[in-house]
Structure 1
């Protein structure tokens, strides 16, 4: 018997990069999530591990333990894919998000960005330090 198994590389260091966008805390799936054995068929996606009270994400009903697999119809397989898409969005712009929950249920949300109070920021580990980066808003 032959069995094919898809694998993905996991860091022993844990989370090394986090993006906060519209109140969602987004990262690559961490080890505990990956060990559950479910990665969306769309090719992964970025994982929402938390959300912030009072944020656009909270206002429009998004919560933690979901994968964001598309933003405005564009696939977001990696954090870089996600940033490329959201950096083109303006303030107060409506955005369509395709999500897949941890129990494999797809759902589409629409939210309106609020970059005045909820800018796109990134925390990235560089060696033993963390670097804070605020990403620009489209004009």
Structure 2
């Protein structure tokens, strides 16, 4: 008998990069989430670990413990994929997000960006320090 098993690369250092976009705290799936044994079949996705009260994410019904697998129909398998897609979005632009919850249920949300109050920011570990990067808005 032959069994094929997909593996995922997990960091032993824990979370080393976080993106806050429209009030969602987004990261690669951390060890505790991956140990639950569920990574979306779409080839991964970025994991929403938290949301901010009063943000566009809150207003349009997105919550924590979901994977974002597509933004406007484009796959978001990694944080870099996610940033490439959202950096092309303008302020107050409607966005379609395909999500998969931790109990494997897919759902599509639409939200409107608000980069004036909720800019796209990234926190990235560099050695022992954290670097803060604010990403530009599309013109």
Interval containing the TM-score (normalised by the shorter chain): over 0.9
Q: How high is the TM-score relative to the length of structure 1?
A: 0.99
Find the counterpart in structure 1 of residue 69 from structure 2: 69
Alpha-carbon distance in 1 for matches of 2:3, 2:32? 24
SS of 1:82's equivalent in the other structure is helix
Alpha-carbon distance in 2 for matches of 1:68, 1:13? 23
Find the counterpart in structure 1 of residue 36 from structure 2: 36
Deviation at 1:125, TM superposition (A): 0.3
Alpha-carbon distance in 2 for matches of 1:9, 1:89? 29
Q: Matches of residues 91-106 of structure 1 in structure 2 within 5 Å?
A: 91-106=91-106
SS of 1:83's equivalent in the other structure is helix
Aligned length: 139
State the Cα deviation string for residues 102-124 of structure 1 (Å, max 9, x = none): 00000000000000000000000
The gaps in structure 2 that reach 5 residues or longer are: none
SS of 2:85's equivalent in the other structure is helix
SS of 2:3's equivalent in the other structure is coil
The gaps in structure 1 that reach 5 residues or longer are: none
Find the counterpart in structure 1 of residue 18 from structure 2: 18
Alpha-carbon distance in 1 for matches of 2:105, 2:121? 28
State the Cα deviation string for residues 68-105 of structure 1 (Å, max 9, x = none): 00000000000000000000000000000000000000
Deviation at 1:5, TM superposition (A): 1.1
The runs of at least 4 consecutive aligned structure 1 residues that moved more than 4 Å come to none
CA RMSD of aligned residues (A): 0.5
Deviation at 1:9, TM superposition (A): 1.1
Q: How high is the TM-score relative to the length of structure 2?
A: 0.99
Find the counterpart in structure 2 of residue 127 from structure 1: 127
Deviation at 1:2, TM superposition (A): 2.5
Alpha-carbon distance in 2 for matches of 1:77, 1:111? 20
